[in-house]
Structure 1
């Protein structure tokens, strides 16, 4: 009887979660459509008045500016998708040279990193022969006849700003550049990336993946009944139907798996649904990369490079009351995320499952923003901690130092909550600082290890600018100003130190 009661509760929770996600997706989609229809009607009925004088637009000289590239997260989209709707809430309009690539919204970190390279450099996306064979998809994908920054090289580096999984995508891309992983581009290096700024970055995985349906035992397979199983079925049918105008409006990014009805027919659909073929069969999609185990696998091959500037903004919507972690507010959390904030704050790794890494503690992973755990967003921590330094005010880190993750508090949107203390990798941080001629004792570093976190949920600084208000403008202006005024590569640079 008790078992049936538990199953009933789980099914009810699954129904509520699926409805919340479905309605939120429909809300975004309908908002984009309504905006496009409204714009079209205005243009249609706009009086065509000509005064005989053509006003020339003011030209802006942006040739000397390295682009700032905004990289979206899971279920995200770039410029050109969803009509005129902006994933970054219009932040791209706040600087003279900002690019917003459209990458696969559910494709793996590896595939998205490859797509991002060719979006910028130009050419046909090459996923790599070995990877494509292992994951059973086409080796070549979309063609960019003209790259969005074809001059990209070590002398013309780029600033990247990644939200959520987008931050991990950029890190993987930089590692690929260092490893010279792109055929026909043997001169790539890690120095093609000038800076990486992470907004709620998915560096170390998320316990939400297990709540949504990933198996905590391996971090790769799906539970038989879960929200992600429903998502999987919906995505397969969506891609199989292959409705051109609909996929032009929004695309999950699995075109290289070639599962359209035109290619595989009804039998191909059945194979995908049964899990025999497609991205979900090979685990070549984003969710396995966002588990703690998946992030550990990725981080094992990604370095923090000494000539690149790294910045990180962590978020949370939890607080402790009598030692128990609970949501910090009732009305400040988006309804889309409230249930998950509560569930993630109480998450416990199954006692019969192997812990994802040595030293794992449930208590470290309780603070969260509804999608990611706060500890995951600070800087790469597993399987080893990367050099880092925590700052309360941006003025504390001028002049800026490359090769260290600077974790910024920025602004606290609610009254200050208890600080989060995180151990600093003293040896690596001090070595880097000393090589730049700045002496800093362990005691000095300890003073920086407590920091205030941005009080915001996971989608506070994207999609809806009005929701964040003035804080939205202040944060993006601060990021863009730092890229333009304070981040410059000078010689000599530090020797490359690979983290393994």
Structure 2
């Protein structure tokens, strides 16, 4: 009994510390964005140099001219990410979009499902009102139509004008789902779409096969859909519901979780609607139409079961890890160079054990295959789609090993 109390106390302590760290970090990012915007506004007001602005404009025009015939590169952010225009002047991709006019960084729902984000990405590029699909919308309890893009960011997109996509973390799966939708001609009014609209897919620590991190943070390994009653994700769920319910315009202009199509604002559902959402009877967390179920092993297998690797598209993936083997045991690769809190997350994932009373997520499952990780994703998940069917792949250590590039293989 005493041992059980100690374990419970440690778990609650970990939850408190983890929640506090995430909250403080969130406020830090937000305050940094606000401070950056204020600083930029003051700089523009008092120290604006017309000559520099003129030169910058000329450089921009020259850059645009030199790259106008090249396919654009679309950078797709991962979970809790944001696109250009959110969080002030902060950049999710370290300012890549500021270096070239052909680099696009769409702002997709940071917590919305992979399916919803893929639909949003299509209309971001082509223009028009986001259509989530009638059947899907009814099943998940949200509006069929969402944000309107008066002008697409690449309206000429088609088979003759394909695009390079780069996806980070969950963003890699978003791109794969989008390509499958193009192949399936899943966009009403666009019957000419096909998989060849995608020239290449590059994944940066892509979440192809899910992550055991989801279970540590609160997803139930029994089904990969529900949340444990006391967990980090449960606190996150409550915070997101309240944030969207208050629906403060200037705040959501800075950061938006992407659930506007669920219509959970106080103006539309009132106080009783809020209570309904908090009790888990309505909203994205009730229907399961959000990102975390897609990142469990079960959810990823379900997604992968109908996604293909296409023969004319070039696929690249970059896998990361912060673990190493010491006497046959997987441990964090070192304390130096790793933030202490990230060190703990890496250690947790390297000690992962699938519950013995729960059926394994796939045939041939082994815990040790999932021990190498970077603190957020398991390395086995990043290389290429593996489950339920392994896709063609080639491990590359040196760039010269994959010359020339071959399509249809990771």
TM-score (norm. length: structure 2): 0.96
**Aligned match of 1:393:** 398
For the 8 Å contact 1:167–1:199, the answer to whether it is kept is: yes
Secondary structure of the 2:395 match is strand
Secondary structure of the 1:231 match is helix
Q: 2:345 aligns with which of 309, 332, 340?
A: 340
Residue 387 to residue 47, structure 1, CA distance change in 2 (3 Å): closer
Q: Between Structure 1 and Structure 2, which shows a larger proportion of helix residues?
A: 2
**How far, CA to CA, are the matches of 1:48 and 1:2 in structure 2?**
67
**How far, CA to CA, are the matches of 1:72 and 1:11 in structure 2?**
31
**Aligned match of 2:240:** 235
Is residue 170 from structure 1 mapped to residue 191 from structure 2 by the alignment? no
Q: 2:356 aligns with which of 317, 331, 351?
A: 351
**Aligned match of 2:8:** 7
Residue 7 to residue 307, structure 1, CA distance change in 2 (3 Å): same
For the 8 Å contact 1:21–1:336, the answer to whether it is kept is: no
Q: 1:64 aligns with which of 60, 69, 79?
A: 69
**Counterparts in 2 of 1:391-470, with a 5 A limit?**
391-405=396-410
Residue 49 to residue 13, structure 1, CA distance change in 2 (3 Å): closer
Shift of residue 259, structure 1, vs aligned partner: 0.1
**Aligned match of 1:29:** 30
**How far, CA to CA, are the matches of 1:47 and 1:191 in structure 2?**
45
1:217-241 per-residue CA deviation (whole Å, 9 max, x = no partner) reads 1100000100000000000000000
**Counterparts in 2 of 1:358-373, with a 5 A limit?**
358-373=363-378
Shift of residue 309, structure 1, vs aligned partner: 0.1
**How far, CA to CA, are the matches of 2:113 and 2:232 in structure 1?**
19
Secondary structure of the 2:165 match is strand
Aligned-CA RMSD value: 1.5
**Counterparts in 2 of 1:254-269, with a 5 A limit?**
254-269=259-274
Secondary structure of the 1:310 match is strand
Gaps of 5+ in 1: 406-500
Residue 388 to residue 271, structure 1, CA distance change in 2 (3 Å): same
Shift of residue 168, structure 1, vs aligned partner: 0.4
**How far, CA to CA, are the matches of 1:300 and 1:389 in structure 2?**
21
Residue 186 to residue 6, structure 1, CA distance change in 2 (3 Å): same
Gaps of 5+ in 2: none
**How far, CA to CA, are the matches of 1:80 and 1:7 in structure 2?**
43
**How far, CA to CA, are the matches of 2:271 and 2:201 in structure 1?**
44
**Counterparts in 2 of 1:92-111, with a 5 A limit?**
92-111=97-116
TM-score (norm. length: structure 1): 0.79
Shift of residue 96, structure 1, vs aligned partner: 4.6
Residue 154 to residue 49, structure 1, CA distance change in 2 (3 Å): closer
Residue 147 to residue 336, structure 1, CA distance change in 2 (3 Å): farther
**How far, CA to CA, are the matches of 1:14 and 1:223 in structure 2?**
12
For the 8 Å contact 1:24–1:336, the answer to whether it is kept is: no
Residue 107 to residue 50, structure 1, CA distance change in 2 (3 Å): closer
Q: 1:75 aligns with which of 66, 77, 80?
A: 80
Residue 54 to residue 170, structure 1, CA distance change in 2 (3 Å): closer
Shift of residue 94, structure 1, vs aligned partner: 4.0
**Aligned match of 2:318:** 313
**Aligned match of 2:164:** 159
**How far, CA to CA, are the matches of 1:376 and 1:50 in structure 2?**
50
Residue 330 to residue 267, structure 1, CA distance change in 2 (3 Å): same
Q: How many residues align?
A: 404
